[in-house]
A and B are shown apart, each in its own frame.
Chain A
Amino acid sequence: MRNLNKAETEVIKAATDATDEDLAARAAAGSRPAFEELVSRYGLRLFHFLRSHSGSDEDVEDLVQETFLKAYRNIGRFDPQRRFSTWLYTVAFRLSISRLRLKEPKPLQLDSEGPEHPSPGPQEALIRKEEALKAGNIWLLARTLKPREYKVLWLRYAEEMPIRDIARAMRKSQAGVRVLLHRSRLKLGKKLRVPSPATGLAEAAAAEQRLFIL
């Protein structure tokens, strides 16, 4: 971490009270502390948003880094009349799509949105689901959905974005976003309700043990 002088610290203090759009406007005018404040506000949010894709946490961090770099280069193009979060998520979404295309070239794919989840095999997905249910955080379970389904849920519930902005960020129509949200809810609901075979086996083993004790 580089050392900040007093003036810079004061600028940062002032920046923490500003809106995202104000900070973006200042960053566009050349203010580095304003951009750093945006990084601290959105770094972790983007990290979780981009986690739907395959790869390690380091890969996701690289993608976050790439997103901010692109945002930094193009901050002058941001329209302060619009929401900064929508703009930033649009950049992140496009980068993640292009990264996914580069990583997994599949010439013939009947489902345009890709597989259920590109990274894990069925066994790994099952383990992940089990871990998610145990850990209790619903987002871990949501990661077993398709990347687009995970992303639309993140934008809707974590970012509480209106449908219009989600449509803009994900380059879809508003009706398309509603359909995607509906489908994601149905799938996540099924995953939450229906016990997996592993859970069933565990419950069966526990019941057997109880019978043995009796």
Chain B
Amino acid sequence: MCFVHRWNISRALDSGKSLGNLTKRHLVRCENCRDFSQLGEEMGRRLTEDAASLLSDVRPGLGEKVRRVVDEQERAPSLSFSKRLQMRPVLAGAVALAVVGVSLIWLARSRPASMPQLDPIFKLKAPTTYLESALQRAESPYQEEILELKKTLKSTADYLAARFDIGLRTNN
């Protein structure tokens, strides 16, 4: 049960409160825990005193070092992007890789090896005119044929009318 009482001693040291009766009674008969209690108090006192003696020493370069770096910070309030990249090599590497990747994709898309070049956009109107003329060219033989047939039919009708001297009125 000593560990419970030592925990109680530690808590009392932290809170500054006195020990509970149960632990006090235990301390009377347990030398190890009594030692721990005394050592805990002594240790705390020594830690505080020795820290004060450490802090009474002077470390001359330290303040100057901090001031120098703060001066630099004031001169350059916000770091440039290139500086940040220098400070973070992993980030710089990732950015470089991303740039290379995007460039490669861009090159692959803009200059396909096996595909023909497309006409520039301002020439898009031309195919419509070509289409119309081609359509006309495609239609024209039929038109010509029809015209020829019309002519033949008309001359045939004229010949028959003259030969037999018939007319629509007389027939009726």
Task: Point out residues on A near B: beta carbons under 8 Å.
Answer: 1-2, 32, 35-36, 39-40, 43-45, 47-48, 61, 64-65, 68-69, 72-73, 137-139, 142, 153-154, 156-158, 160, 163, 178, 181-182, 185-186, 188-189, 192-193
B159, CB-defined interface residue at 8 Å: no
Q: Are A65 and B66 in contact (CB under 8 A)?
A: yes
Complex contacts, A139 vs chain B, CB 8 Å = 47, 50-51, 54
Contact pick for A48, options B43, B44, B54, CB 8 Å: B54
Report the bound CA distance from A45 to B89 in whole Å.
32
User: Chain B: residues with CB nearer than 8 A to chain A?
Assistant: 6-7, 10-11, 13-14, 35-36, 39-40, 43-44, 46-48, 50-55, 57-59, 61-67, 69-70, 73-74
With A44-B59, A72-B70, A182-B11 known, 19 other A-B pairs at CB within 8 A are A39-B63, A39-B66, A43-B66, A61-B62, A65-B69, A69-B70, A69-B73, A137-B54, A138-B50, A139-B54, A156-B14, A156-B47, A157-B48, A158-B47, A160-B48, A163-B14, A181-B10, A189-B40, A193-B35
Main secondary structure of the interface of B (DSSP, over half): helix
Contacts of A188 in B (CB 8 A): 43
Task: Give the A-B pair count, Cβ closer than 8 A.
Answer: 100
A158 and B51 contact, Cβ closer than 8 Å, known pairs A61-B61, A192-B43: yes
The residue from A36, A68, A157 contacting B44, defined by CB atoms under 8 A apart: A157
